Structure 1
Amino acid sequence: MRRAIYTANEIESLNRVIRKATKKHKLFPTDELAKKVVYLAIMDASKRWTMLIHHWKQALNRFMIMFEDRLTEYL
């Protein structure tokens, strides 16, 4: 599992993308708008992310064992 999550750089990059997108808005009128802004920012940034995660299948299997109730709706 540690091999798949080998550094915090990817998480920091994602947080930076979200902060940059939400910083433009001081206040969101609805939760739905906030979700859309974050979603669109992530989708835009994901087009530039090309590095594959090593051993992802092993990590995903481990995550399914540990967090099955949370992940099943997304897979």
Structure 2
Amino acid sequence: SPRFASRKDHTELVAALKAIHTAPTEQAAEGAMDEFAVSDPGVRYPAIVQTWHRAWPEFVPYLAFPPDIRKVVHSTNMIESMNAGLRKATRNRGHFPTEQAALKVLYPAVREQIEPRARDVNLVAPHWKNALNAFALFFEDRISVQ
């Protein structure tokens, strides 16, 4: 959505769109979308409204997730940070002869990002533990907690 708006309007635009993607139900999101369409940013940038209407069927399944999972899905910073840590762990290793060999390198890298040392506490997304709990409850048939 911000690509359709002037950079000076991004703060206002993001604040207006937040009501849509944080809505607790599909009906509340539709109401927030209707409010956005008649708001100042919605009137100034009708392409954003059209884009949301076209993408609505793909957006609705997102609303079925609990808020903690939505926060992780919505925030790509955490994902990019995790990918960067995994790349760093594997960068100088070349290739791995087996899947087990790759896991021996990647597992500690993931653990380091989830449970950092005391000096690194502020580097990890503070909402990761909440999201992990939400994933374990929402996808209990897929995640085994040991």
Identity across the alignment (%): 32
Amino acid at match of 2:137: M
Of structures 1 and 2, the one scoring higher in RCO (CA 8 A, sep 6+) is 1
Which structure has the larger Rg? 2
- Compute the displacement of 1:7 (Å): 1.4
Matches within 5 A, 1:52-67: 52-53=126-127, 56=130, 60=134, 64-65=137-138, 67=139
Give, in whole Å, the separation in 1 of the partners of 2:112 and 2:136: 26
Contact 2:136 2:145 survives alignment (8 Å): no
Moved over 3 A (4+): none
Superposition TM-score, scaled by structure 1 size:
0.67
> What stretches of structure 2 of length at least 5 have no aligned partner?
1-66
Root-mean-square deviation (CA, aligned residues, Å) is: 2.6
Check 1:38–1:11 CA distance in 2 against 1; reply closer, same or farther (3 A cut). same
Matches within 5 A, 1:25-64: 25-45=93-113, 46-47=115-116, 48-50=120-122, 51-53=125-127, 56=130, 60=134, 64=137
Superposition TM-score, scaled by structure 2 size:
0.39
Which structure features the higher share of helix residues?
2
- Between the two proteins, the alignment pairs up a number of residues equal to 69
> What stretches of structure 1 of length at least 5 have no aligned partner?
none
